[in-house]
Copies of this chain bind each other. A is one copy, B any other.
Amino acid sequence: MADNLVLHEDVRSGNCYKISLVAALLGLPLEHVQYDILRGETRTPEFLSQINGNGRIPVLQVGDRFLPESNAACWFLAERSALIPADPFDRADMLRWMFFEQHSHEPNIATLRFWLHYIGEANLSEQQRAQIMVKRIAGEDALAVMDRHLDRREWFVGDQVTLADIVLFSYTHIAEAGGFPLEDHPQVCAWLKRVMQLPGFVTMG
């Protein structure tokens, strides 16, 4: 990987942390550029035209090219490493959990953490407030699916850690800041500890 790697990020974002954690586990050097999403720093005309037209972080810069979407960036860093299974079914199954994370986990668990922990319930719009219960139920469902899946296995796919574990770890380990009690999900708690014991593991922030 000859190109310089730069992570455009806000350190409070679990989507950004995922990428730093993959880089740390693989020993890849990563430069960091910080943005404050609460101050709209990813919605400036410059950011939208040069870095991501979607106005979101993280974006992984690879040389002079820009790669949005946290899980795509994790994939790029981990190609040809043991974090991506060699078996075709297992590789697709890993992607299955990464899509689950972006569709059924992050929009509920990460969003409630952002709203309740950073914006504050008193400052939410009426539309945001109307979504809290829906996101609470859907987030609990996602954690329950994970807990059942981990009932008789140590890792999400096959018998060793993959990107599926890393991307799901990120917002799960801070889910309590969104009001999701993890003690209800003992298999998830045991799995979180396994991830934290991986060689090269780094904490968030």
Contacts and interface: CB of A to CB of B under 8 A. Distances in A.
Nearest to A131: B131
A40 to B, nearest CB: 16
A67 B89 CA distance: 8
Contacts of A93: 67, 72
A99 B96 contact: no
Contacts of A162: none
B92 A76 contact: yes
A9 interface: no
A205 interface: no
B69 A95 contact: yes
A148 interface: yes
A135 B67 CA distance: 25
A99 to B, nearest CB: 4
Interface of A: 53-54, 62, 65, 67-73, 75-76, 79, 88-89, 91-93, 95-100, 102-104, 106-107, 127, 130-131, 133-134, 145, 148-149
23 contacts: A53-B148, A54-B104, A54-B145, A67-B92, A68-B96, A69-B95, A70-B99, A71-B95, A71-B99, A72-B93, A72-B95, A72-B96, A75-B92, A76-B88, A76-B89, A79-B91, A79-B92, A99-B99, A102-B103, A107-B107, A127-B131, A127-B133, A127-B134
